[in-house]
């Protein structure tokens, strides 16, 4: 496999073509952003930590029957993935109230949500990722009704797998965001699952162990990501 030209660079990762049109290289950079790119910093080791974290989680999800784009690790900061036609709608599941849900509805942080909630957001930084619904997604042609049903089914299935995984390691999976794409007509999980795109709290102390450490200036961001990984049994060095 030969790495070819860069196709696009997002806020934290870059996508490269390869000599195989079906495969891309996903490079995890140290760039870290929050508030739709308003707050930006380089955090040393983040690219490596998130690349290896994501590889571990994607392998767990594949093993549980969830189709993912992940093909394998290429280096500390690069993974080989399937070329997906990305669906511009983000899927969020919440087990506990936090973040934009609290701001939007005026509820306090930390309320258990039973059953877990499911939300859709349009991937559009300029518009601050507005909340949308299935009807809008279908009418604007972002995804078909069948695709949306599959995305919802898979997003909840991920919750079953990962809630248990974090729980066994003494952590609470508060919420997370997933992105899906199309490959040969099927809906496949793309992008990444790392502490950058989810909320994780220590079960006992409720210490924040995710990107809220960066958003809220709590410090020890990458050290804490590594602590989460360590508890799950991920080897970073
Ligand atoms: P953002 O777009 O939010 O700034 P990133 O920096 O993470 O995010 O950029 C990664 C980009 O790559 C995103 O636009 C994401 O949708 C896209 N992407 C992720 N996985 C794949 C894939 N398998 N095929 C094509 N594009 C992908
Ligand atoms: N999230 C993300 N990317 C986004 C928006 C949200 O990864 O563009 C994640 C976020 O880290 C959290 C979950 O999705 O784990 C729910 O985010 P929320 O809607 O509460 O928004 P935020 O507080 O991040 O603005």
- The pick from 86, 121, 189 for probing ligand 1's pocket by mutation, whose C-beta has the most ligand atoms within 8 angstroms, reads 86
Q: Measured from the CB, is residue 199 less than 6 Å from ligand 2?
A: yes
How far, in Å, is the centroid of ligand 1 from the Cα of 9? Answer: 8
Q: Measured from the CB, is residue 225 less than 6 Å from ligand 1?
A: no
CA distances from 10 to 26, 32, 109, 122 (A): 11, 11, 30, 16
Ligand 1 atom closest to Cα of residue 69: 23
- The pLDDT, as a whole number, for residue 74 is 98
**Alpha carbons 78 and 45: distance in angstroms, whole number:** 13
Ligand 2 atom closest to Cα of residue 211: 11
Q: Which residues, in sequence order, are bridge partners of residue 112?
A: 96
Record the pTM. 0.98
| Alpha helices, DSSP H, located in the chain | 46-63, 99-105, 134-139, 145-168, 212-215, 221-232
How far, in Å, is the centroid of ligand 2 from the Cα of 60? Answer: 22
**Alpha carbons 198 and 95: distance in angstroms, whole number:** 11
Q: Measured from the CB, is residue 211 less than 6 Å from ligand 2?
A: yes
- The pLDDT, as a whole number, for residue 237 is 86
- The pLDDT, as a whole number, for residue 194 is 98
The CATH H-level (homologous superfamily) assignment of domain 3-82 is: Phosphorylase Kinase; domain 1 (3.30.200.20)
Q: Are 117 and 94 in contact (CB under 8 A)?
A: yes
- The pLDDT, as a whole number, for residue 48 is 98
- The pLDDT, as a whole number, for residue 163 is 98
CATH 3.30.200.20 residue ranges in the chain?
3-82
- The pLDDT, as a whole number, for residue 93 is 99
- The pLDDT, as a whole number, for residue 36 is 87
Profile the chain (237 residues) by mean pLDDT over runs of 10 residues. 96 98 98 94 98 98 98 98 98 98 98 98 96 98 98 98 98 99 98 98 98 98 98 95
Q: Measured from the CB, is residue 25 less than 6 Å from ligand 1?
A: no
Q: Measured from the CB, is residue 69 less than 6 Å from ligand 1?
A: yes
**pLDDT tens digits for range 196-229:** 999 999 999 999 999 999 999 999 999 999 999 9
How far, in Å, is the centroid of ligand 1 from the Cα of 60? Answer: 21
Residue entry with tokens 């506990």 = 96
**pLDDT tens digits for range 23-48:** 999 999 999 999 988 999 999 999 99
CATH 3.30.470.20 residue ranges in the chain?
85-220
CATH of 85-220, one of 3.30.470.20, 1.20.1250.20, 3.10.180.10, 3.40.50.300: 3.30.470.20
How far, in Å, is the centroid of ligand 2 from the Cα of 16? Answer: 25
- The pLDDT, as a whole number, for residue 78 is 98
């Amino acid at each position: 496999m030969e790495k070819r030209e860069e196709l696009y660079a997002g806020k934290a990762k870059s996508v490269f073509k390869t000599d195989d049109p079906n495969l891309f290289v996903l490079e995890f950079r140290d760039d870290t952003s929050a508030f739709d790119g308003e707050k930006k910093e380089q955090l040393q080791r983040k690219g490596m930590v998130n690349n290896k974290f994501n590889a571990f989680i994607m392998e767990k999800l594949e093993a549980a029957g969830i189709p993912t784009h992940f093909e394998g690790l290429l280096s500390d900061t690069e993974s080989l993935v399937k070329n997906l036609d990305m669906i511009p709608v983000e899927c969020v599941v919440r087990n506990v109230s936090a973040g934009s849900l609290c701001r939007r509805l005026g509820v306090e942080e930390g309320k258990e949500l039973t059953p877990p909630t499911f939300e859709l957001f349009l991937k559009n930084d300029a518009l601050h990722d507005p909340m949308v619904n299935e009807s809008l997604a279908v009418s604007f042609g972002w995804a078909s009704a069948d695709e949306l049903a599959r995305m919802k089914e898979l997003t909840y299935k991920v919750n079953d797998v990962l809630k248990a995984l974090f729980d066994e390691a003494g952590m609470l999976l508060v919420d997370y965001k997933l992105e899906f794409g199309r490959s040969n007509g099927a809906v496949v999980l793309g992008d990444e699952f790392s502490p950058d795109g989810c909320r994780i709290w220590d079960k006992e102390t409720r210490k924040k162990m995710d990107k809220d450490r960066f958003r809220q200036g709590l410090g020890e961001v990458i050290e804490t990501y590594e602590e989460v990984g360590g508890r799950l049994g991920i080897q970073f060095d």
